[in-house]
Structure 1
């Protein structure tokens, strides 16, 4: 339960230099939680006259021992109990029975015994009091001391655990949470830009393909007009070509939209993958740079695998969007708004002037093509707005789910700090 620190001078053991521990550091390193430390000042006395003084210690030695006690308390805390002063040499001489005849030890023994009795020497040297302390005081309150030592051990363990958790929270978890939050803020901004880019690509696809069908229809109808076509055949031929081109339009838009959606999903998935890899990297860096008393016994693992399928959410973006590009979708609605009633007034005059008839036929075709262009663009904008809205909602749902995981890292950090504080309070309340 206790260790002694014996010294022949009234001074504290030396402290060490950085990288080279001194006596005090070595003592502290080897102390158990239940250990009590006492200093024993063994005063060197060779002359009986020194024992005949009223007190064993001089005023200077007492002051030096007060400094020693203060220093030991500073380095060892409550485990340091105080200093015991004695002089072992005179006590040994008067107690020894088998000294070598005619030796210096025997001569010194005789000098002490000529001046005082054995009991006086033992008492004045402090040995009698020391033996009484060892055999009576230490034993009489042993139960109390053992209980106090056990409480000290428990409180030390709890206190150390609290400090280790606080260190882990402060040096590892808190910086990790800040880094994750900073990275996620960047990723979230990139996701918003990705949605905006997708919206622009969708608009470009619609405008481009609608323009293509207009060009194809005009080119084909002009060819028929140039070859010569009756007025009554213009509308059926226009509708026939429109039906054929509309199927190609649906197919091309569907294919391009599918590729854009696949690209969008791949981009989002890649961003999330890089983010999760970055989280792993941050954990490794923080654990490597900030060693704590817990060492490798406590590690935080933010894999974001709490039942949320982020990549499944990304993939689900495709389904609702592709439903918009079907035969009963926006193309049909756009064509339905065009009567394709090619108005061919002045037909009688056209019987006498073929160039005039062709000019009127082209005007009728262009009029309907303009109407078709406006109608298809209007329906495409409605459909694309629905698609982009679905993408935005799904992406927002994805961001929300990831932010829940990011927020959980903060909650863990806060809870760990609270646990450490409760342990600290517990260590102070144990009595």
Structure 2
């Protein structure tokens, strides 16, 4: 038992896929060049048992040998299970080059190695397909396939076997047919040692430096690709937010145009009501057969009284209409903000990667604009020009004396009915003059109010533009970053001769 533990060949598996569970390091030297060989668990077994061992070893290696006894490409996987190729690709580091070793299984060296090449034409064709498939999947990482047969070379190169053991009997038999040098040559192992001592480890320092450049460049490229993905996501988000912005602006503008019409209509209604009340009250007094002086006083009094009433009703009525607009605008802005937030969350998920899992895509509608304060302030804007009191309309009553005095000299010569008709005519003339002045004042003051409200709507438009602008600004920032990363990558490629 003690001899068995000291015999060569312990590293050789027994055929089970998971024979090797832990990475074993062997420090070796070839042509004066030291190197380390890592015996890694097999990738085609129950990978979950040895995943961390494989990752740890492969991530530190500069070359990986994929050893197979089949002259065919590794299997690819499907949606349910990873294939060997996907596993190899998954574990590679940025610096790793991959070689395939086709370890041809030979149990009778005399029969297989006498008078014929190690690899048959059919096997050569299959290995060409393996090379093509590996290069297709692994890209620049993949190098070449190297065929050999390891068991005959192992038997020829060592005699540290337990006497009478299976390996000792195999060695004796194989050396009866070939010399050790012949077996090392025919098995392909000598050529493999030349490959190992030349291209693989002969320029080790250069390879390590180049590998580090390659590793840094791959990290840059990965970051650049990730940022480009985020940039595309944000570009699409900015476009969608812009569409939402235009829709909200259109709704807000339509609602504001409706407000303007309602303000004008409301004011006209109140002015008509003003004229109707003056007419009703003055006509009632005319029917009492009042004198012209009493009529003049009554008309002037009613004009002033109804103007004062109008000056109180008008701001209240206008604010009712503005309140309706405020409510509609709040709904429009709330829907926009909700849609903007939903879009932002949706695109944040679409662009989620390990790099940007904490990437802040929160976009606020206000962006420094106090939306609630602006909408609340509208209530005072519309009524502000009309809160100066009855002095706004005093010009309307001042014309009464002029209109009445024209017929004053002749009224006494006619009948009471004629006097009443003249008084009613004077009432209508005064009302036309008063309402014309009121409407002119109304138009001027509404123009001032609408202009001030336009300023508020403009600020609301800015608030609606903010999300798309924020997304667009982030796109520009990412574009600058990816451009700088590309430049840095080119510098690394030049410096590392990649």
Q: Give the TM-score of the pair, scaled to structure 1.
A: 0.89
Q: CA deviation at 1:325?
A: 0.6
Match of 2:358 among 297, 309, 313: 297
In the other structure, the counterpart of 2:99 is 38
How is 1:165-244 mapped onto 2 (pairs within 5 angstroms)?
Answer: 165-170=227-232, 172-244=233-305
- Does the aligned pair in 2 maintain the 1:213–1:246 contact within 8 Å? yes
Q: CA deviation at 1:58?
A: 3.5
How is 1:187-336 mapped onto 2 (pairs within 5 angstroms)?
Answer: 187-288=248-349, 292=353, 294=355, 296-327=357-388, 331-332=392-393, 335=396
Q: CA deviation at 1:352?
A: 6.7
- Does the aligned pair in 1 maintain the 2:95–2:211 contact within 8 Å? yes
Can you list the C-alpha shifts for 1:76-121, whole angstroms capped at 9, x where unaligned? 1121222232211112222343545556544432232123322332
Describe the SS at the equivalent of 2:64. Answer: strand
Describe the SS at the equivalent of 1:5. Answer: strand
Q: Does 1:7 align with 2:95?
A: no
Structure with more helix by fraction: 1
Q: Distance in 2 between matches of 1:85 and 1:212?
A: 106
- Does the aligned pair in 2 maintain the 1:334–1:379 contact within 8 Å? no
In the other structure, the counterpart of 2:449 is 387
256-265 or 202-211: bigger deviation: 256-265
Q: Which runs of 5+ in 1 are unaligned?
A: none
Can you list the C-alpha shifts for 1:240-288, whole angstroms capped at 9, x where unaligned? 2222211110000011112222332332233222211210011123334
Describe the SS at the equivalent of 2:364. Answer: coil
Match of 1:378 among 397, 419, 440: 440
Q: Distance in 2 between matches of 1:400 and 1:338?
A: 48
Q: Which runs of 5+ in 2 are unaligned?
A: 1-60, 494-498
Q: Distance in 1 between matches of 2:336 and 2:401?
A: 54
Q: Distance in 1 between matches of 2:200 and 2:356?
A: 39
How is 1:11-22 mapped onto 2 (pairs within 5 angstroms)?
Answer: 11-22=72-83
In the other structure, the counterpart of 2:128 is 66
Q: CA deviation at 1:337?
A: 6.5
Q: Distance in 1 between matches of 2:485 and 2:80?
A: 32
- Does the aligned pair in 1 maintain the 2:66–2:98 contact within 8 Å? yes
Describe the SS at the equivalent of 2:205. Answer: helix
Q: Distance in 2 between matches of 1:366 and 1:297?
A: 75
Q: CA deviation at 1:62?
A: 3.3
In the other structure, the counterpart of 2:155 is 93
- Does the aligned pair in 2 maintain the 1:10–1:65 contact within 8 Å? yes
Describe the SS at the equivalent of 1:115. Answer: coil
In the other structure, the counterpart of 1:28 is 89
Q: Would you say how many aligned residue pairs link Structure 1 and Structure 2?
A: 430
Q: Does 1:141 align with 2:171?
A: no
Q: CA deviation at 1:193?
A: 1.0
In the other structure, the counterpart of 2:420 is 358
Instruction: Label 1:310 to 1:75 Cα distance change in 2 as closer, same or farther (>3 A).
Output: same
RMSD: 2.8
Can you list the C-alpha shifts for 1:142-168, whole angstroms capped at 9, x where unaligned? 221111221222121111122222223
Can you list the C-alpha shifts for 1:47-85, whole angstroms capped at 9, x where unaligned? 235445475333443333232222111111121222232
- Does the aligned pair in 1 maintain the 2:101–2:148 contact within 8 Å? yes
- Does the aligned pair in 2 maintain the 1:174–1:413 contact within 8 Å? yes
Q: Distance in 2 between matches of 1:35 and 1:48?
A: 38
Q: Distance in 1 between matches of 2:411 and 2:344?
A: 85
Higher relative contact order structure (alpha carbons within 8 Å, sequence separation ≥ 6) = 1
Instruction: Label 1:349 to 1:122 Cα distance change in 2 as closer, same or farther (>3 A).
Output: closer
Q: Distance in 2 between matches of 1:422 and 1:357?
A: 94
- Does the aligned pair in 2 maintain the 1:334–1:376 contact within 8 Å? no
Q: Distance in 1 between matches of 2:327 and 2:174?
A: 98
